[in-house]
Each structure stands twice: as C-alpha cells, then as structure tokens.
Amino acid sequence: MKNSNLLYLLMVLLFTTCSKDENCTNGIYDGDLKIINQEDVDKLNNSCYEEITGDLIIIGKDIYNLEALKNLKIVKGSIRISKTRINNLEGFSNLISAESLYLTANNELENIKGLRKLKNLHHLHFWENNSLKNLTGLDNLVTLSGSFILEENKSLSNLNGLQNLQIIGDKLYFRANTLESLKGLESLKSIKGILDLKDLPNLKTIEQLQNLNSAESLFISETSLKNLNGLNNLQTTFHIFIVANPKLVSIKALNNISSNIRYDIIISNNYELINLNGLEKIKSIGRDLIIKNNYELENLEGLRNISGEVEHLEIESNSNKLKTLSGLNNIESVRFGLEIIGNNDLKNLNGLQGINSAGYLEVRSNEKLTDFCAIQELFKNSTLDVKIQNNSYNPLVKDIVSLNCKI
C-alpha cells in the first residue's frame, strides 16, 4: 500500500514538473513575441500561453507549421504573418480576439479555416497570399471595427466566409484580386469609411451588396461591371468616384443616394456609359464635379437637381454624343475653374445660364460649338480669366455680352 501511494505521488510530481513552463506566468506572454524560424515555433510546444499582451510577429521562409500556438486565445496587439510556407492557420484554432491580422506573401497558404473561433478584430489586411481561394474561417466576424483590405491575392475568387459580417468601421479596399463577385458580403450594412473597389478586371457583379445602406465614399475603378446593381439601397455617401470601368453602361442603381455630397463627383473613362440617371436625388456638391472621357454619354440630366456652388466644374472629352449641357441648369457658381473641353458634338452652352460667377473659364476644342449666349450672365457680375480657342466659333468676351454671342 505504501509503495502504491509513493508511486502515485511520484507520478503527480513528474506530471506537474513536465507541465510547468518557467517562462510562463499565468498563461500570459508579456510584450511582443517575434518568431523567425520553425525552431522558434517548436519551442512553444510546451508553453501555456493563452494571451500575448503585445504583437505576435511570424516571419521566415522555413516556417511551415504553427500548431504550437494552439492554446492561444487573445493577442492584444497585431498578428503579422509574412513570407512563410504555412498552408493553413490551424495553429490559431482557439484564437478569439486580436487587434489586427496581417497576412503577407504567404504563397502556400490555401485556407484560413483555423480562424473559425475569431470574433473580435479591428483591422484585417491580406496581401499577396497567392494560393488563398476564399475566406472561410472568418464566419464569426460580425463587426470589423477598422479597415478591411485585400490586395493582390491572385487566387481569391470569392469572399465565402464573411456571410455574417455586417459593419466595417473604416474602409473596405479590394485591389488586384481575381474576384468575380462579392459573394459573401450579403449581410454587409454599413461601411464607415471608403468602399474602394480597384483594379478588379474579373469583377462582373456587386449584387451581393444589396443590404448596404451607407459608405462614407464610393470608389469604383478598373472593373468589368456593366451596372452598379447591388447599391440600390445605398442612401448615404459623401464622395462618388466612378472611373475607368470600360463596360459600365448604367449607374441607375445609385438612385437612392439622397445625401449631400461633401466632396467630389468624378465620373470618367467609362466608355460605354449612356447617361447619369441615378444621381437625381443629389442636391449639392462640396467640391468638384468632373464628367470626363465618357464617349457614349448622351446627356447630363441626372445632375439636374444639383444647385448652389461647386468648386470646379469640368465637362471634358465626352466626345461622340453629348449635344447639350442641360442638367447643369441649377448650378449658380463655380468657385475656381469652369471647363468645357473637347466635346465634339456640343453646339451650344445651354445649361450654363444659371452660373453667375466663376474663378476662370476655359472653353476649347469643341468642334461644333458656335453658340455662347448661355454664359452672358457670367460676365455681368464678375471679372475672370478666359480661354476660348479651337472651337468652331471663338468669340471675345465683348462679343459674348453683345449680339455676337453666336454665329
């Protein structure tokens, strides 16, 4: 009996001794933990770290397995994993919370399913993880309090895994991925920063954004979108930037935006865009209104309710079909430049009658323009720099304010 008791005590003592990590205090690693090779990872196998108070930095080409981190639940700083050979994140299978997560140039990383318990995150940035196909593993994220950035993940074709994400506290920025749609973002309601979709040549639809009702700014450029269907419920935004979408025909889906635009409306290099229908509820612009290089644009009627002052008004190189500036009738003042340039089918300036002041005026290279009578009012109350050249008719200011305003 005594021998049995002695054996039991020895086993307990042995187990306690083997389980104890002299570098561990209540399962908390204090400060930043930097791992630069697989040996550093393996040293953590017997640790009891459930929390890191600083950043967790993992960088090294020979790192291929993170299972030694399986007890980790909380990282109060950022997790930065870059230039490794890992193909999954199963080592983070118990992670609940981190300030930020950066995955950079992990070219063998195929999935992030190991993040399935992650609920609290401020900032998410994935860059150049060229084998990553989707985002399954982020299923428990409902709110991302900071930014969400995806750049140059060459195999990322969908956003499966984000189906519960509702709020992004800062910007959403997707660039140079192979996304064909935004499948996975069906629950997204609010982006408190910029919605920026850039250099996504495979992106053909954003219909999955049908529940989005606000984004501070809307930037869409270099996509294959034919329309903006999916933004039909967007009511509030302060900046509209629609540029270089060569297949875009319609922006009608923006027809519920009723907020005043604090900054700019810039619509340019959308070669198939027919009109600006969809912007009718917008009543004011704080800065610039630029409509440029939209070769199939037939009219500006979608801008007809914009009134008051803009800082800069530029209608340029809408070459083939724009015959009138009607739609700009309610704009009263241009603080800086008023530019009408390179609109080959424009014959008159009708639509500018309401503008009574501008910083400067440039009207040039409008091949058929012969009638300047609509801007007579502009010269009655203000003195401004004027450049009128290379139009079919190039009157002097004294001609415009007299009976010689057209030929």
Per-residue model confidence as pLDDT tens digits over 260-308: 999 999 999 999 999 999 999 999 999 999 999 999 999 999 999 999 9
* Of the candidate ranges 156-160, 210-214, 251-255, 269-273, the one whose mean pLDDT is the lowest: 156-160
The kind and range of the H/E element at 7 are helix 2-19
**Residues near 331 by Cβ (< 8 Å), separated by ≥ 6?**
289, 306, 307, 308, 309, 310, 313, 352, 354, 355
10 has pLDDT over 70: no
Q: Could you give the percent of the chain with pLDDT greater than 70?
A: 94
**Residues near 22 by Cβ (< 8 Å), separated by ≥ 6?**
none
- At residue 57, the 3 state secondary structure works out as strand
- At residue 8, the 3 state secondary structure works out as helix
DSSP code, position 253: G
**Can you give the pLDDT at residue 170?**
98
DSSP code, position 45: T
Rounded to an integer, the average pLDDT of 313-329 is 94
**Can you give the pLDDT at residue 55?**
99
| C-alpha pair distances (Å), 245 with each of 248, 251, 254, 321 | 6, 11, 16, 19
Per-residue model confidence as pLDDT tens digits over 237-250: 999 999 999 999 99
Determine the Cα–Cα distance for residues 266 and 316; give it in Å rounded to an integer. Answer: 12
Contact 215, 237 (CB under 8 A): yes
Determine the Cα–Cα distance for residues 353 and 376; give it in Å rounded to an integer. Answer: 8
**Can you give the pLDDT at residue 16?**
45
**Can you give the pLDDT at residue 383?**
84
The kind and range of the H/E element at 40 are helix 38-42
315 has pLDDT over 70: yes
Per-residue model confidence as pLDDT tens digits over 330-363: 999 999 999 999 999 999 999 999 999 999 999 9
Which domains can be identified in the chain, with CATH numbers?
48-208 (3.80.10.10), 237-406 (3.80.10)
Per-residue model confidence as pLDDT tens digits over 164-195: 999 999 999 999 999 999 999 999 999 999 99
**Pseudo-torsion of CA 97, 98, 101, 106, nearest 10°?**
-70
Tokens of 389: 């050249």
Give me the phi and psi of 278, to 5 degrees please. Answer: 125, -15
8 has pLDDT over 90: no
DSSP code string of 328-371: -TTEEEEEEEEEEE--TT--B-TT-TT--EEEEEEEE--TT--B
**Can you give the pLDDT at residue 22?**
52
Q: How confident is the model at residue 3 (pLDDT cuts 50, 70, 90)?
A: low
The kind and range of the H/E element at 148 are strand 148-151
Contact 345, 369 (CB under 8 A): no
- At residue 209, the 3 state secondary structure works out as helix
